[in-house]
Structure 1
Amino acid sequence: MRHVYWIGGGSGAGKSTIARRLAARHGWRLYATDDVMGDHARRTTPDEAPLLHEFMAMDMDERWVDRSPQTMLETFHWFRGEGFGLIVEDLLRMPPDTCVVVEGFRLLPRLVQPLLPGPGHAVWLLPTPEFRQAAVTGRAAPDGGFTGRTSDPERANHNIAARDHLFTERLREETARLRLPTVTVDLRMSEDELTERVSGIFGL
């Protein structure tokens, strides 16, 4: 997988934006893991992805309102690596003569590391809580999005923000332990600067 570059990280960190920029600049193929979540869910069985299928059976309040952020973190299927093998399957079906930039929160450091041909092929973007809040607010749906379909959207949004903060801190610890590169993304960093930081890590 020498032709694959990975951009993981927390929610709202700018992964999609930077991946699109790099793909356009270098003529790379873009693979957004968010775009294939529905397909991957349909391709799994309860035995292969038990947490995913438990989640699919829940109603909106059970998913986002009734559980603590810590429980949400520990039981969220994509955070546990369920379906990651399907990402790899998809990538292996792509022709290796064109580089691919893969982006998404599903790219867990411990799962990506064994696939790296060497340094300079992966980075994790770690947003500060303030940056994530600004990003989420900027792309909020007029109808309130999926949390608007819960009985308590405010609590649901609070739970998701707290869960995502815990996930970012877990990524920070795991990348440090595995000695993988990260970029902390805060409100002072422009898209241009973040693009150049990632380009530098990739050796472009």
Structure 2
Amino acid sequence: MTELRSVYWIGGGSGAGKSTIARRLAARHGLRLYDTDGVMSDHGRRSTPETCPYLAEFIAMDMDERWLNRSPETMLETFHWYRGEGFDLIVEDLLGLPPGPGVVVEGFRLLPHLVEPLLVERRRAAWLLPTPEFRRFALESRGSTWQIAGRTSDPERALRNLLDRDRMFTDRLALEAASLGLPVIEVDGTMTENDVAERVTTAFGL
């Protein structure tokens, strides 16, 4: 889509450092930043049960129904953002931005099969894929490990479910990006923030 030719896309699993890397690239190269996590509430309000049925079902559940009473596999298959619901609203927002510099878009909602048709060059997108160990360490260092799990009746089991679900999601991203010939960068404990930023910068040809 030529209207999005100035967009750079950073997708990937939770805890991979997408937000940090996107902020660094935006500041270094004079680009606008679009955080897909930051607009989730707005997109929820702009959605309907007809356009986002999985979101409607999720909203109707209590915390135990969401994170304890279902298997991680079911959580993966029914989580609305993982299904691509609301991606059209991301595109709508981007198309509505005023003329200006390029845009760095980041977030786990950027599924490879949805982004790929919008690319004018394949090197305009990259997916950061954390190892399970790195993801757990990253979330714990942020103090966010229990933000969701701690609101259930069994936080430890809820956390295991969440981590299993997100591990499977990351594996799915890796397979999907590879099948489409899109760049992936595995993030583990041996890489510094500078290392990841440089690899993304190189992938984008900036």
TM-score (norm 2): 0.96
Structure 2 SS opposite 1:82: coil
- Root-mean-square deviation (CA), in Å? 1.0
Letter in 2 for 1:137: E
Deviation at 1:149, TM superposition (A): 1.2
Deviations 1:98-138 (A, max 9, x none): 11000000000000000000122000001101110110111
Q: 1:125 aligns with which of 128, 131, 134?
A: 128
Give the aligned partner of residue 202 of structure 2: 200
- The residue aligned with 1:59 is 62
Runs of 4+ residues deviating >2 angstroms: none
1:173 matched to which residue of 2? 175
Decide which of 91, 94, 102 is 1:91's aligned counterpart. Answer: 94
Q: Which amino acid aligns with 2:6?
A: H
**SS of residue in 2 equivalent to 1:120:** helix
In 2, are the aligned partners of 1:3 and 1:97 still within 8 Å (CA)? Answer: no
Q: Give runs of aligned pairs for residues 1-204 of structure 1, distance below 5 A.
A: 1-141=4-144, 144-204=146-206
Unaligned runs of 5+ in 2: none
- The alpha carbon displacement at 1:146 in A equals 2.6
Sequence identity percentage: 66
SS of the equivalent of 1:5 reads: strand
- Between the aligned partners of 2:73 and 2:49, the Cα distance in structure 1 is 23
Q: Is the 8 A contact 2:116 2:122 kept in 1?
A: no
Unaligned runs of 5+ in 1: none
Separation (CA, whole Å) in 1 of partners of 2:144 and 2:16? 18
How far does residue 159 in structure 1 lie from its aligned partner after superposition? 0.3
Aligned-pair CA distance for 1:200 = 0.1
Pairs aligned (count): 203
